[in-house]
Structure 1
Amino acid sequence: MTTLTRPPAILFDLDGTLADSAPDLAGAMNRLQLQRGLPQTDYALLRPHASAGARGLIGAAFGLTPHDDEYEALRVAFLDNYTAEIAVRSTLFEGIGGLLAALHEHDIAWGIVTNKAARFTEALVPQIGLSMAGCVISGDTTPHAKPHPAPLIEAARRLGVVADQCWYVGDDLRDIEAGRAAGMVTVSVGWGYGDPSHPTPWNADLHVASPTDLTRLIATLSR
């Protein structure tokens, strides 16, 4: 990778990167289990699957995949539960507020690119303090979701920045795959729901252990 310079724009995944939404996602799943007279799955078992949404959580709680007959009814019921209580315990990860303030100070545009459907993104984002995002690209904004690069390229277009001048920050393999496919500098994070055990998970260009570390890195770079 060429020498890093301060980017004109940074794009972020939402769940597991900016927002710790696992408590509300797991809560929706636990309510679904209660509604069906089943024991609740321990939060520690559900949390690692939060980035994968309904598919990951239903797999963890029920052992089912989208190919199973029972899956679709569970998915609809789970999403109904989630819609009803989408921002009860969801918060920004520690240090995200300071990071976003630093981006503003350094005149770096930022936006959100998530696979979360717009009906959920539009409900969650303003309730957890992310309304100042320069753009929000949801999983159904473009014809393709991550790991396809289309959502990231659309986000760059909306910010008025060439895609290969952006960074993309995420906690999941598909984030890094999408960022790489879009020609962006990819940044994996050591918080969230992904596996941070490898020094550079998924061969990302950069790995940061905390939002504060990313804030510090950006401050050291010149345009």
Structure 2
Amino acid sequence: MAADAVAYPKAVLFDLDGTLLDSAPDMVAAIDAMRAARGQPPMPLEQLRPHVSKGARAMVAAAFPDVPDDERERWIPEFLDCYQRALGHHGTLFEGVDAMLEALENAGCTWGIVTNKPEYLARQLMPVLGWEQRCAVLIGGDTLSARKPDPLPLIVAAERIGVAAEQCVYVGDDERDIIAARAAGMPSVVALWGYRLDEDNPIAWQGDVMIDVPSQLIAADAWPGTR
């Protein structure tokens, strides 16, 4: 390869919800099931959508703001049960994700997933998405002793695929993704197409690059460290 040639990263690790997968419809279906059980009407998708990347507790808090924190905490298993029943029924890949992953694979780039979603739920999605053989590593929020924004999941994921952390790139739509990547010594991509609250400021996260849509990452020169 010529000295000035542009190449994809050796490996790419992705967040899942809000980065690869538009899982908001599944999660809202779970919330609506919980609300129906309590005699409450459904909530608009767009009202809950910004909270998805913040996790189960943020979703339940947004749906039941008047319920005390300790009581909402006891509802988390119920939410996860409802979500498991809705898993893969409504959510879809973000437009351009499949083409982007295919471009990485064609270039010999290994890719995997590091998510804060419980591992058993993330693994159930792999056959639904056709990723059982394509995804080289999958680490969930309960796989290890720490989860993002701690860098441990990213570091372990890199170790499991046999690639140095600095030769991986992490792609995520939440500030904790970028914090984890920086602490792991991994270049990062801010996925601007994901879920954000109005007060979130992705510029302040100081990722290496910010990308508007997944299809931009089909180009090798869009990735950090490849220009």
TM-score when scaled to structure 2? 0.89
More displaced 10-residue stretch of structure 1: 177-186 or 47-56: 47-56
Amino acid at match of 1:119: Y
Post-superposition offset of 1:195: 5.6
Amino acid at match of 1:117: P
CA deviation map 1:103-125 (0-9, x unaligned): 01111111000001111111122
Structure 2, unaligned runs of 5 or more: 1-5
Q: 2:49 aligns with which of 41, 47, 50?
A: 47
Change (3 A) 1:64 1:180: farther
Post-superposition offset of 1:170: 0.2
Number of residue pairs aligned between Structure 1 and Structure 2: 219
Q: Is the 8 A contact 2:173 2:192 kept in 1?
A: yes
Query: Matches of residues 49-128 of structure 1 in structure 2 within 5 Å?
Result: 49-63=51-65, 68-128=69-129
CA deviation map 1:15-52 (0-9, x unaligned): 00001110000110011000111122221111111112
For residue 216 of structure 1, what is the aligned residue in structure 2? 219
Amino acid at match of 2:161: L
Post-superposition offset of 1:157: 0.6
| SS of the residue 2:40 aligns to | coil
| SS of the residue 2:55 aligns to | helix
CA deviation map 1:158-191 (0-9, x unaligned): 1110011110000000000000000000110111
Post-superposition offset of 1:140: 1.2
Change (3 A) 1:219 1:51: closer
Change (3 A) 1:45 1:35: same
Amino acid at match of 1:155: A
Structure 1, unaligned runs of 5 or more: none
Q: Is the 8 A contact 1:191 1:209 kept in 2?
A: yes
For residue 193 of structure 1, what is the aligned residue in structure 2? 195
* C-alpha RMSD over aligned residues: 2.2
* % same residue: 45
Q: 2:183 aligns with which of 178, 181, 192?
A: 181
Amino acid at match of 2:195: Y
More displaced 10-residue stretch of structure 1: 96-105 or 188-197: 188-197
| SS of the residue 1:161 aligns to | coil
Distance of 1:106 and 1:175 partners within structure 2: 25
Distance of 2:61 and 2:80 partners within structure 1: 14
Change (3 A) 1:153 1:136: same
Distance of 2:35 and 2:176 partners within structure 1: 29
| SS of the residue 1:101 aligns to | helix
Q: 1:203 aligns with which of 187, 201, 206?
A: 206
